[in-house]
Homo-oligomer: A and B are copies of this chain.
Amino acid sequence: MKQILVLGAGLSATSLIDYLLKQAEIYDWYIVLADIDEKLAHKKIKGHPRGKAQAFDVADSAAIDSLLDQKDVVVSLLPARFHDSIAAACLQKGIHMATASYVSPALKLMEKEIEAKNLIFLNELGVDPGIDHMSAMRVIDKIRQKGGQLASFYSFTGGLIAPESDNNPWHYKFTWNPRNVVVAGQGVSQFIKNGKYKHIPYHQLFNRILEREVLDYGSFEIYPNRDSLKYRKVYQLDKIPTIFRGTMRRPGYAAAWNVFVQLGCTDDTYVIEESENMTYREFVNTFLRYDPGKPVEEKLVDYLNLDPEGEVMQKLKWLGIFDNRKIELKNATPAQILQKLLTEKWALDPDDKDMIVMQHEFEYELDDTMYQITSSMVYIGKSTTETAMAITVGTPLAIAVKLLLTGQIQQKGVIIPTKPELYNPILDELETYGIKFVEKELIV
């Protein structure tokens, strides 16, 4: 009997645990789900004879040590910062490991030793990173196999609200970590287009958007997603003249969000004095010129050259940023204050569903003809607990664990799913869950 340890019983655990428990009957597995909240773990195991819930504190290394005993693989759904120490423990005890997180620099350093011990450490097996790698590589390899020369690669992903639940002027709600949404894009974004490098500082990011249609789901706008250049190495596209990765929102979002960026409301690097006594209106005013004769709205409109009756101001007013309501957060950064307000306004309603949208666009040359392939996926969540985000993170990771335990992975070491032995079976099985890419090819 193979033993699987799953660390963390949060949102993404549901689909993963359901999947593993189902397979456990077929393959003779036993699953221990450990979480700081033992009740939550019990809720997910639901008394299944092949599962067990256990309390566990990530700070208690002796507890982790005994949890690891006799396990064949550890799946960590904990926040990424905990993975390095767990990886080190797995390596020491000779246990395979799997996560949906990025390969960390510390893990990179363990790579050779992991390989030498014939271990398999699977990473980047969620949706983004994860499904993005797999779906892109499947098309890239197909183009290569027929001798095509890739000329450009665009890849867009968005975690959004489903059309049936889209009832606010931002066409956006929080469907994952709010903090990551507030600080998204900070730093520089880089890509290359027809051999020309492009660098976009954060304060210009939401001015530099693309627009796209995806299947029957209407229009999206896209802003550049940090460092696209590094994906040339990940996908072995070293010489590709154009590569661009972007984040999707509904049209109109970027122009309104840009107000917060321009003002400085997304800054998470300093604390505002007396923030606990401030109102949201005063908060906005701290970023505007001193002029007691003018209302805040008018100062904002003048400062950023907005239409006082336009859509951007409508969105801002709807959020309540001009309200004389106390923030009630002490020693808060601007980003924390903005997050507090957004968390109230962008919360999911009990019946809401979220949506994951992904689209890749490839151009390639073959026999003097230019072709374009568009590969698109839209997946809508089932509920506020079985979200599209949780399902598309947990399911590919679960399938990968099955491949590992059934001996279908030939690679050893630190692995991300860019090879057919992983992406083919995982993408095929994801289709049975409705996570399916639709491909269109045309001559351009």
Contacts and interface: CB of A to CB of B under 8 A. Distances in A.
A273 interface: yes
Contact of A204 (B264, B285, B286): B264
A286 B198 CA distance: 4
A52 interface: no
Given A187-B269, A292-B194, A203 B286 contact: no
A274 B269 CA distance: 31
In the complex, the count of this chain's copies comes to: 2
A290 B196 contact: yes
Nearest to A187: B269
Contacts of A270: 187-188, 190
A267 interface: yes
A208 B289 contact: yes
A263 B290 CA distance: 27
A285 B194 CA distance: 13
Interface in A241-287: 262-264, 267, 269-270, 272-274, 285-287
A187 to B, nearest CB: 7
Contacts of A273: 197, 229
Given A188-B270, A229-B273, A290-B196, A262 B203 contact: yes
Across chains A and B, which 4 residue pairs bring their CB atoms closest together, nearest first?
A201-B264, A203-B203, A193-B290, A197-B286
Interface of A: 187-188, 190, 193-194, 196-201, 203-204, 208, 229, 262-264, 267, 269-270, 272-274, 285-287, 289-290, 292, 334
